[in-house]
A and B are shown apart, each in its own frame.
Chain A
Amino acid sequence: MRIGPFLLRRLLLSFFVLIGISVLIFVIARIVPGDPARMALGPRAPQEVVDRLRKEMYLDKSIPEQYFYWIKGVVQGDFGKSLYSKRDVSADIMEYLPATLELAFLSAIFMVIFAIILGVLAARYRDTWVDTVIRTMSYLGVAIPAFVVAVLFLLLFGYVWPILPVIGRYSAWIVPPSPVTGFAGLDSLFAGNFSAFWDSFKHLLLPAFALALGSIFQEARITRSAMVDNMNKDFLAAERGYGIPERVIMFKYLLKPSLIPTVSVMGLDIASLMGNAFLVELIFNWPGISRYGINAMLNKDLNAISAVIIIFGLIFVVVNIIVDLIVAYLDPRIRLSGARGS
């Protein structure tokens, strides 16, 4: 598999995408009315203090120069100070990002597993009650926004039938392990604290599921229709005719070509999970970066906004490269034409 040139091309392209995002977000952040230095220091700060801060933040320079100084910091991991929390934005991000990543990660796993299982079931038992039930659930799942699902979960599993925790990352009686990576699961495992691991995992379940639900059903539908399309293809008839058993046909020769559209859409869905996570994080009191980002916007915390958007852009780009690699693995037609083109 000639993956080298393919990957190189995608990386180069992504680099320009990130530059574009950074310019866009920087310019928008700078041309909105209001003086960041004044907003940081408050209305009663003396003018010379404000001027000193302006100089420190390079606000007296032209916008291209400002961008240059800002991006120089960004590539070194320095996003400046949060005008609201007065801490380094990078420190805030290190604190909040892992919580959202672990949420998105588990959501993505749910998405892959349940979307494929439901899609295969619906296709295998198409036009029977199984298909009808999954279809009805899909319409509901796609139509109901994640935050409504979150509230329903809160009500069901937190109040009516309290089997899972609904608030935060750890239960009150658990001593959280010292943060090494910031990921609750990993940190607990490093500390050898299995009860903390299990507890944090249980805390993840509901928010992750609420976040994944809409996408699960959307992708189950895509998987189903791709499988049903491929079912009547000659190559399956041929493979059946040559004596390959039905289960191998289903789970190998039918599933692989049918997953190509699912995986492409899944990439977009996983990336947009980060944005959708905001309301879910709010409802489950999850200390994540989406919530941090929204608060930054409400507080006009420009450095924090820029940083969150850059990080989201980076995640989006990385997820898409991974998805492209998976699609290229699944579909030699894409892989081979890509290699020929470069």
Chain B
Amino acid sequence: MEPLLEVQNLHVWYRVYGGYSKVLNGVNFLVNKGERVGLVGEAGCGKTTTMKTILRILPDQVSKIAQGKILFNGQDILQMNGNALQRIRSQGIAMIFQDPTAALNPVFTVGEQLSDVIRFSLRSIAQRKVEKKSIKQVAMQALKDVSMPDQERILGTYPIQLSGGMRQRVCISMAITTKRELLIADEPGTSLDVTIQDQILRLLHELVKQQNTSIILITHSLGVAREMTDRIYVMYAGTMVETAKADELFANPLHPYTLGLLASVPKLTGGGIAKGIPGRLPDYRNPPPGCRFSPRCPRAMPVCEFSPPPFFDVGYEHKVACYLFQESRND
């Protein structure tokens, strides 16, 4: 398998009053060509920050990329100039945001926004101006692809005239107008109700299969990750703590945080309220110097408090960032 996206030792800080909030602390992960990767972790652990950094769309006055590399097809996105970055954004990677209401500009029609996305993508591919008529055709097709009825009318509406589910479909249509090599879906259903969420996920699933694109699916739901992805990364407080094939991860979870996460899933058939993990995310302004999970970890050891654990390979493409597995290999 060929690597498509490789994030290496990424550190991203936010400027806050009196210093920096060190959110991402050496994120490493890999997406291969055609692979569907899931990313799970609790709210505030840096999932969205990582994704926005990949597209370089974090607001630069409040954030700082302290170090790291983001290799896309072997080239470092963080070193790219305007034109190359433009090409990545219009042909390489597209992101679907968590909240479609916030992700659509409230004062422009759907058609206007969609047309601009198409216009500049096509221009960057074809290196020339594109006719208005063909832009409209592509826009209609994009809406059709996300199962929107009555495309002509939808193009003339404003986001407030659409329901949440339709807004998310519009957002997805923007991300797939021209074929991208990698789709990033940031909890695409979280802000929608359960049945709509299901439809949206199904739609994404179909699109990814049809276009044979790679996808990073960020989700709160371990069940969704298991069903829709090939490999899963578990993230905690700005670092990846565990990664494995989806089935392997559920069959053999190793990291104490992953175990806690699995235990906190409420069961449909009895069992009462799930256990959860005591404590909360560390203060990013002054994070623990060692393993960031150590203050909450039931099995923390003295070493955990001093140095952050690297990934230890435990076999079967299963890696875990925890000193408990320093020596063990399960093959």
Q: Contact between A242 and B105 (Cβ–Cβ < 8 Å)? A: no
Q: Contact between A242 and B106 (Cβ–Cβ < 8 Å)? A: no
Interface flags for A234-276 (1: CB within 8 Å of B; 0: not) read 1111111111111010001100110010000000000000000
Summarize A's interface: helix, strand, loop or mixed.
helix
Does B149 sit at the interface, judged by CB under 8 A? Answer: no
Does A331 sit at the interface, judged by CB under 8 A? Answer: yes
Q: Contact between B121 and A237 (Cβ–Cβ < 8 Å)? A: no
Interface flags for B69-100 (1: CB within 8 Å of A; 0: not) read 00000000000001000100111011101010
Q: Contact between B90 and A257 (Cβ–Cβ < 8 Å)? A: no
Q: Contact between B107 and A241 (Cβ–Cβ < 8 Å)? A: no
A171 to B91, CA, bound (A): 63
Q: Contact between B108 and A242 (Cβ–Cβ < 8 Å)? A: no
Chain A interface extent, by class: 20 to 34
Q: Contact between B158 and A336 (Cβ–Cβ < 8 Å)? A: yes
A53 to B158, CA, bound (A): 63
Q: Contact between B59 and A239 (Cβ–Cβ < 8 Å)? A: no
> A235 and B104 in contact (CB under 8 A), knowing A243-B120, A243-B121, A244-B120?
yes
A330 to B108, CA, bound (A): 9
Q: Contact between B175 and A253 (Cβ–Cβ < 8 Å)? A: no
User: Which residues from 127 to 185 on chain A have a C-beta closer than 8 Å to any C-beta of chain B?
Assistant: 127
A253 to B112, CA, bound (A): 10
Q: Contact between B117 and A235 (Cβ–Cβ < 8 Å)? A: no
A218 to B267, CA, bound (A): 58
> A244 and B57 in contact (CB under 8 A), knowing A238-B95, A253-B108, A332-B106?
no
The chain B residue sitting closest to A248, CB to CB, is B116
Does B259 sit at the interface, judged by CB under 8 A? Answer: no
Q: Contact between B57 and A237 (Cβ–Cβ < 8 Å)? A: yes
Q: Contact between B171 and A238 (Cβ–Cβ < 8 Å)? A: yes
Q: Contact between B102 and A234 (Cβ–Cβ < 8 Å)? A: yes
A256 to B112, CA, bound (A): 13
> A238 and B103 in contact (CB under 8 A), knowing A126-B61, A336-B160?
yes
Q: Contact between B61 and A256 (Cβ–Cβ < 8 Å)? A: no
Does A231 sit at the interface, judged by CB under 8 A? Answer: yes
Q: Contact between A245 and B108 (Cβ–Cβ < 8 Å)? A: no
Residues of A within 8 A of B7 (CB): none
Q: Contact between B158 and A242 (Cβ–Cβ < 8 Å)? A: no
Q: Contact between B107 and A256 (Cβ–Cβ < 8 Å)? A: yes
> A234 and B108 in contact (CB under 8 A), knowing A127-B61, A244-B120, A336-B161?
no
> A243 and B103 in contact (CB under 8 A), knowing A232-B59, A253-B108?
no
Does A333 sit at the interface, judged by CB under 8 A? Answer: yes
Does A233 sit at the interface, judged by CB under 8 A? Answer: yes
The chain A residue sitting closest to B117, CB to CB, is A242
Residues of A within 8 A of B174 (CB): 238, 242
Known: A243-B86, A243-B124; 15 extra A-B contacts, CB below 8 A, are: A126-B61, A231-B61, A232-B59, A234-B97, A235-B105, A238-B97, A240-B89, A242-B117, A244-B117, A252-B116, A253-B105, A253-B108, A257-B107, A330-B107, A336-B158
Please give me the 5 A-B residue pairs with the lowest Cβ-Cβ distance, nearest first.
A243-B90, A243-B89, A234-B102, A332-B158, A237-B57
